[in-house]
């Protein structure tokens, strides 16, 4: 795999800001029907995904911990309950404002740092844009997150790369060690995030790549 970026790299913060601006602009152009369209997050419409994206900006630590306790300390259960609740009570304008007003918010997921913040926005952005046929994030932005792929992130999404190396066809990114699978960077990220099934390697006799 290519060298991981420095987690403190100011480019990460710049890309996070740019991604939030990009998503806000796309969301501002959606019709009411598109706000209710399904996404790659099973059971969530666009409005639930945006509610989830903006939850960290709208929820302080005490409220988060109280909600997590009510969900019996299952983050997934808490996230689903909060997204559905907030999507039901907030209008499209409310949700869009929550994103635009927090373009520069310093939130980082616990243990994830700036890379985790960018990854969160990129993956959920793709959850929205892919089903709607909207433009994805720039390849260099996606590659920045892919270059920081770790065993922890793979485990979080339940992805097993045993014997497989994913290689981006449009960026200098390789993840894993084994038989090569070539994908555009966008598809590679969707695969690592559990949104796409892991393709089978094409056994062409090509030498195995190194991770």
Question: Looking at the chain, how many residues does it have?
Answer: 211
| Six-digit token string for 97 | 């404002």
What pLDDT is stored for residue 7 in this prediction?
A: 52
Residues 74, 27, single domain; the answer is yes
Q: Same domain, yes or no, for 185 and 124?
A: no
d(CA 30, CA 49): 14
Please give the model's pTM, rounded to 2 decimal places: 0.89
How many domains, the chain?
2
Strands 163-168 and 178-183: parallel
φ, ψ of residue 105 in degrees (nearest 5): -60, 135
Residue holding tokens 């601006």?
21
CATH of the domain at 32: 1.20.120
* Cβ pair 151, 163 in contact under 8 A: no
Question: Domain check: are 139 and 123 in the same one?
Answer: yes
Question: Which of 29, 23, 30, 81 shows the shortest CA–CA distance to 55?
Answer: 81
Same domain for 86 and 170? no
74 burial type by CB count under 10 A (0-12 exposed, 13-18 middle, 19+ buried): exposed
For residue range 10-52, what is the model confidence (pLDDT) as tens digits?
A: 889 999 999 999 999 999 999 999 999 999 999 999 999 999 9
Question: Is there a single domain that holds both residue 113 and residue 155?
Answer: no
**Do both 91 and 113 map to the same domain?**
yes
Full pLDDT tens readout for the chain, 211 residues: 444 555 557 889 999 999 999 999 999 999 999 999 999 999 999 999 999 999 999 998 888 889 889 988 888 999 999 999 999 999 999 999 999 999 999 999 988 999 999 999 999 999 999 999 999 999 999 999 999 999 988 998 999 999 999 999 999 999 999 999 999 999 999 999 999 999 988 754 444 333 3
Q: Judge if 56 and 116 occupy the same domain.
A: yes
Cβ-proximal residues to 149 (8 Å cutoff; 6+ apart), any chain: 1, 175, 192
Please indicate, yes or no, whether residues 65 and 120 belong to a single structural domain of this protein: yes
What contacts 44, CB < 8 A, 6 or more positions away?
38, 52, 83, 127
Segments forming the whole domain that contains residue 76:
10-146
């Amino acid at each position: 795999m290519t060298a991981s970026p420095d987690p403190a790299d100011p480019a990460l913060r710049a890309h996070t800001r740019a991604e939030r601006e990009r998503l806000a602009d796309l969301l501002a152009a959606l019709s009411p029907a598109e706000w209710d369209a399904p996404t790659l997050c099973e059971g969530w419409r666009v409005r639930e995904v945006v509610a989830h994206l903006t939850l960290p900006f709208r929820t302080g630590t005490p409220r988060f911990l109280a909600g997590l306790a009510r969900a019996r300390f299952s983050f997934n259960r808490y996230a689903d309950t909060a997204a559905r609740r907030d999507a039901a009570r907030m209008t499209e304008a409310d949700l869009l404002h929550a994103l635009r007003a927090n373009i520069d918010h310093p939130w980082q997921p616990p243990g994830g740092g700036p890379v985790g913040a960018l990854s969160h926005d990129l993956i959920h952005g793709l959850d929205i844009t892919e089903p709607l046929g909207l433009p994805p994030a720039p390849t260099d932005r996606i590659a920045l997150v892919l270059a920081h792929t770790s065993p922890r992130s793979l485990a979080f999404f339940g992805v097993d790369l045993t014997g497989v190396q994913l290689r981006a066809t449009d960026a200098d990114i390789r993840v894993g060690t084994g038989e090569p699978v070539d994908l555009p960077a966008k598809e590679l990220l969707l695969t690592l995030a559990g949104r796409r099934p892991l393709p089978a390697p094409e056994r062409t006799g090509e030498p195995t790549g190194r991770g």
